[in-house]
Structure 1
Amino acid sequence: MNNNTTIEIAKNSVPLLLVIYCLAGVFPLLKYTYLNQEPFIFTFKYVGPVILASMLYISLEVIRSQKLFIKVIYIFQILIKAFFITIMTTGYLLLVNDYLSESKEECFIGEIVEKWKNSESLLYTDYNFKVNDSSTNKQYSLNVSKNDYSQHKEGQLFKQCLKDGMLGIRFK
């Protein structure tokens, strides 16, 4: 195999590798319970800009040589790809957050103010409570198990303890 063939194989395998990366990133998201949106906020705040800047830097030469309309299309494609890669990176950050963390726990105890389901589908449903924490008087949105969701009603007391991870993401 010559160098051009190797480069061509590498270019053609990138989309498949990205799909595998994204699919594998879903499993940690399903495995952990966490404060609603906390891992995603962390990822978009700290990792998203790095991914976007990296993708723009890699594509800079291609973008420069195009006409304005094509530049806009390329940048739009890069933004969409960076968005999905950032979302799927959240699963990997949850793994890092878990395996490099201490076992310090933080408990949320309070009255269930609201309960709802997100992402209801055949494969996965996300169950949530909004809890008015009695010790801090703050409201928290908690991602809960199906069992907790079916056993508790609005107005009842609910307690959930989460580990405080290395990245500051609380999880169970």
Structure 2
Amino acid sequence: MLLFVVSAGLPAALVLGAVTGWSRSVIGAPAWVSWTLAALAICIGAPFAWFSTPSGTRSATNLLLKAYRREGLEAVERQYLSVLAPHRAGLQLFNLALALDRAGDQDDACTVYRHAADRGFPPAMMNLAYCLSLRGEEDEAQDWYRRAVEAGYPRAVPGQGDGA
């Protein structure tokens, strides 16, 4: 939400400043500079604002899903996710895995969950643990449940009591 406010609000403020002449009077810039700054802010801010909305997030996930089906996971990570911080890349991979899971492709979803979990994304760790548990790989599943909790995931580890 903060990203949406900043990426939509800043361009709006610059356009308002250019229209009212505020940017000319405050920073002493000529009108063309004020309008150029406003146009650049809109061109950069609008995509950020769009992709921070639920519809934009779905569009980004659909883009990754199409690229994944067309080119494979390695290409998606190299072309689309390599520029992101590990946590953001983990989030995008997690969303891709959820989309694959919803489409009924559990094997590929588990593979993508593993990549997201390897980037340190706790919800992916939990979902990977669940996938492994369904496959009967309980030891590795318990390890991923433990890692998710250690990474700050707020749910209890299945199969372990609270000590009471």
Q: Which has the higher contact order (CA 8 A, sep 6+)?
A: 1
TM-score (norm 2): 0.32
Identify, as 1 or 2, the structure richer in strand.
Answer: 1
Larger radius of gyration: 2
Identify, as 1 or 2, the structure richer in helix.
Answer: 2
